[in-house]
Amino acid sequence: MANVYLTGAGPGDIELMTVKALKVVQKADVIIYDKLANPEILKEAKDNVELIFVGKEKGNHRVPQDEINEIIYQCSQKYENVVRLKGGDPFVFGRGGEEALYLKERGVGFEIIPGVTSAISVPAYAGIPITHRGVTPSFRVVTGHRKSSDNIADINWSSFTEDETIVFLMGLHNIELIVSKLLEVGKSPNYPCAIISNGTTKNQKVITGKLNTIIEQSKEAITPAIIVVGEVVNLREELRWFD
């Protein structure tokens, strides 16, 4: 019986990978990995491991999700230790639930190894706490990337009126729509926001602005990037430590 590990690789900095994730990578017979997992992690694998890249990029879905599900399943029939390695956490917009259900339907057991999600760690490396007493008591994490712009427009934007921190993952290419929807539900044009590219890595870049400036500023940003919207962004000047 194969051991299948749906594994979070963390946000980028290899030292933010969990001990448990490292252990399964080191014993893996095959690693099925994506673009957001730090490639340095693969150096921890044993010499005879099989590596299968299934990464996705905007406009170029190298391997469709349905095929990834089947690859994991087929590997479970061939290898003893199968690691599906994902950037961040497998259950935070990582399609880990879909992969787990696919295996479950075929009678294959699996283990979920949570990863440090970029939704919290990347703002922290930018000096932005997503909650702060007296500023905001709550946060939400939202996908900025749906199958189409029409689908992201279908998000219940009217629920975004509270003064909480909003973290959009994978939303850079939809930033105009995100900004317009937030303004539409009553957010001030001067509401603080930030774009963080390549968070937790040596190539990290942070752009801070307001809703009425961030679209123009976003032209200087690159993917992978997250968008943080909220008053906590103003704390960056005091708390920026990684720069």
Active centre residues (catalytic) = 34, 56, 170
Other C-beta atoms lying within 10 Å of the C-beta of residue 202? 8
Which DSSP letter does residue 174 get?
A: G
What's the distance, CA 98 to chain centroid?
16
**How far is Cα 7 from Cα 87, in angstroms, rounded to an integer?**
9
Whether omega for the bond prior to residue 224 falls within 30 degrees of 0, making it cis, is yes
* 188 and 211 Cβ atoms separated by less than 8 Å: yes
Owner of token pair 């921890």: 44
Please give the C-alpha separations between residue 116 and each of 71, 77, 200, in angstroms, as whole numbers: 25, 29, 11
- Which pair of tokens denotes residue 94? 């990582």
Query: What are phi and psi for residue 183, nearest 5 degrees?
Result: -65, -35
**How far is Cα 56 from Cα 60, in angstroms, rounded to an integer?**
6
